[in-house]
């Protein structure tokens, strides 16, 4: 199956989801039975977070690599394990699935899960490219299933504070937003590069499933373990981190997709065979503002954050570096008045308490209320489009409009 046929099959499958019933209707006290698709570090953390919720049971786990299946079995004795997510989705005793696979598999896993009548928690970025994002958005909206995207910043109390201050008119006219994400690594050790276990070989890895929708290739342990470094499977730091922050900004300011995107940068830090850039500067063009995002893997001093700059005030949201595995980070948000236009304004410090992202998903599963989701498929879709526009601009080395991005062919 070539790429065009693969994406076509996703879109065709999406058309039938609205007629499919949920696996079962859950009451408030019913046990939620979940399956995990993708049991790497992030997937196991998602599983841990889900099992903290009351009356939740993990029934099965699917991962392409036997080592990861064994890790979950050691923690959850008796859990069923599979090397192909489709076998997990055939089970009738699973209500919901967590998708934490490599990025290139997100769309196929989500669409198959929806077709099977399962509720879905899908890690960011929701899809590998824009055609997949369109298919997944339609499938999720047409279905009765509860779909939460793993953009945990959407559950922040800081976001609630920002939205209130903006709604109350404290910023005035916003013309520019600055955002950034900074990390560092020891000399000679590139960000995301992981050691390859001795048992990472064709006997222990379902390589054929990993490569579905991609040109056939011989088994490559480095590409399997360190998939984030390669365009064929990853969108680099744009889809790993920018998507979180841009989603946060889009929600705070109620922004849609930008008119155009540009992106510059390169591999400036470690020449370790990676294809995705380690240094990035993105500009997103909106009708009356620009949104900037920059990232470095060679300096962690400024952590990550966003500044929304208005004529009447500034919202500054700053954090330490986000932990790659847990997604946890420390943060704070402050409003500073512009005395020129708001002379009586006072500095405000955010006080709202955030909520548990996984708990929000579970509550919506029980209530069957999509409207209460903190990160519904819509924000996953919009932030994915922004991410893919940015990467297209970088790889084509020019400004990309939204119209061009929506019809662009995938680039490996």
pTM (predicted TM-score) = 0.91
Reduce the DSSP state of residue 113 to 3 states and report it: helix
Examine the domain organization and report whether 143 and 171 are in the same domain: no
- The predicted model gives 335-342 an average pLDDT of 98
Residue range of the domain that includes 250: 156-190+231-354+388-407
Which of these ranges, 71-75, 219-223, 320-324, has the smallest mean pLDDT?
Answer: 320-324
Q: Quick check: 284 and 386 in contact, CB under 8 A?
A: yes
So what's the pLDDT on residue 410? Answer: 79
Percent of the chain residues topping a pLDDT of 70: 90
In a domain, 219, yes or no: no
Examine the domain organization and report whether 49 and 27 are in the same domain: yes
Q: Quick check: 387 and 276 in contact, CB under 8 A?
A: no
Examine the domain organization and report whether 363 and 280 are in the same domain: no
Tell me: pLDDT of 374 over 70. Answer: yes
In a domain, 195, yes or no: no
Examine the domain organization and report whether 372 and 246 are in the same domain: no
- The predicted model gives 358-369 an average pLDDT of 97
Distance between CA atoms of residues 132 and 129, nearest Å: 6
Examine the domain organization and report whether 21 and 49 are in the same domain: yes
Averaged pLDDT of the chain = 92
Examine the domain organization and report whether 323 and 348 are in the same domain: yes
Tell me: pLDDT of 387 over 50. Answer: yes
CATH of the domain at 317: 3.30.360.10
- The predicted model gives 168-188 an average pLDDT of 97
- Residue 92 neighbours by CB under 8 Å, 6+ apart: 23
Percent of the chain residues topping a pLDDT of 90: 89
Residue carrying structure tokens 């099992």? 51
Examine the domain organization and report whether 134 and 177 are in the same domain: no
In a domain, 214, yes or no: no
| Count of structural domains within the chain | 2
In a domain, 280, yes or no: yes
Residue-wise pLDDT tens digits, 125-157: 999 999 999 999 999 999 999 999 999 999 999
Which DSSP string do the residues of 24-70 spell out, in sequence order?
-PPPTTSPEEEEEE--SHHHHHHHHHHHTSTTEEEEEEE-SBHHHHH
So what's the pLDDT on residue 100? Answer: 98
- The predicted model gives 178-186 an average pLDDT of 95
Burial of 185 (0-12, 13-18, 19+ CB in 10 A): middle
Tokens of 287: 């009708």
In a domain, 346, yes or no: yes
Residue-wise pLDDT tens digits, 298-315: 999 999 999 999 999 999
Tell me: pLDDT of 326 over 60. Answer: no
Tell me: pLDDT of 331 over 80. Answer: no
Examine the domain organization and report whether 328 and 246 are in the same domain: yes
So what's the pLDDT on residue 140? Answer: 98
Which DSSP string do the residues of 134-185 spell out, in sequence order?
HHHHHHHHHSS--EEEE-GGGG-HHHHHHHHHHHTT-S-SEEEEEEEEE---
In a domain, 202, yes or no: no
So what's the pLDDT on residue 18? Answer: 38
Examine the domain organization and report whether 126 and 174 are in the same domain: no
- The predicted model gives 202-224 an average pLDDT of 97
In a domain, 28, yes or no: yes
In a domain, 368, yes or no: yes
Residue-wise pLDDT tens digits, 10-26: 554 444 443 344 445 56
Examine the domain organization and report whether 43 and 110 are in the same domain: yes
Examine the domain organization and report whether 126 and 169 are in the same domain: no
Tokens of 117: 């009548």
Examine the domain organization and report whether 306 and 332 are in the same domain: yes
- The predicted model gives 378-395 an average pLDDT of 98
CATH of the domain at 77: 3.40.50.720
Tokens of 24: 């079962």
């Amino acid at each position: 199956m070539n790429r065009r046929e693969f994406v076509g099959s996703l879109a065709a499958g999406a058309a039938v989801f609205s007629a499919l019933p949920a696996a079962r209707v859950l009451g408030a006290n019913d046990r939620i039975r979940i399956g995990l698709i993708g049991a790497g570090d992030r997937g196991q953390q998602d599983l841990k977070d889900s099992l903290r919720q009351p009356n939740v049971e993990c029934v099965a786990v699917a991962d392409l690599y036997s080592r990861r299946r064994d890790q979950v079995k050691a923690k959850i004795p008796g859990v069923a394990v599979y090397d192909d997510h489709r076998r997990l989705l055939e089970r009738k005793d699973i209500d919901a699935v967590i998708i934490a696979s490599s990025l290139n598999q997100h769309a196929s896993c989500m669409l198959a899960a929806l077709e099977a009548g399962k509720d879905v928690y899908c890690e960011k970025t929701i899809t590998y490219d824009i055609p997949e994002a369109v298919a997944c958005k339609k499938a999720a909206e047409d279905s009765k299933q509860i779909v939460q995207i793993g953009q945990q910043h959407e559950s922040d109390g800081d976001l609630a504070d920002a939205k209130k201050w903006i709604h109350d008119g404290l910023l005035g006219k916003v013309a520019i937003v600055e955002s950034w994400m900074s990390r560092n690594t020891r000399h000679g050790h590139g960000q995301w590069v992981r050691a390859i276990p001795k048992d990472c070989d064709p006997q222990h890895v379902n390589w054929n499933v990993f490569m579905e929708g991609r040109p056939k290739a011989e088994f490559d342990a480095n590409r399997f373990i360190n998939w984030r470094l390669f365009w064929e499977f990853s969108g680099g730091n744009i889809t790993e981190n920018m998507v979180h922050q841009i989603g946060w900004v889009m929600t705070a300011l109620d922004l849609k997709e930008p008119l155009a995107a540009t992106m510059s940068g390169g591999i400036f830090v470690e020449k370790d065979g990676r294809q995705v850039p380690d240094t990035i500067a993105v500009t997103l063009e909106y009708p009356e503002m620009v949104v900037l995002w920059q990232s470095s893997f060679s300096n962690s001093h400024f952590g990550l954050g966003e500044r929304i700059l208005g004529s009447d005030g500034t919202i500054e949201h700053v954090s330490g570096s986000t932990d790659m595995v847990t997604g946890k980070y420390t943060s704070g948000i402050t409003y500073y008045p512009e005395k020129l236009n708001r002379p009586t304004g006072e500095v405000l410090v955010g006080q709202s308490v955030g909520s548990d992202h996984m708990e929000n998903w579970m509550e919506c599963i029980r209530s069957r209320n999509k409207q209460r989701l903190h990160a519904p498929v819509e924000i996953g879709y919009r932030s994915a489009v922004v991410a893919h526009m940015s990467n297209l601009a970088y790889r084509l080395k020019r400004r990309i409009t939204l119209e061009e991005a929506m019809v662009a062919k995938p680039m490996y």
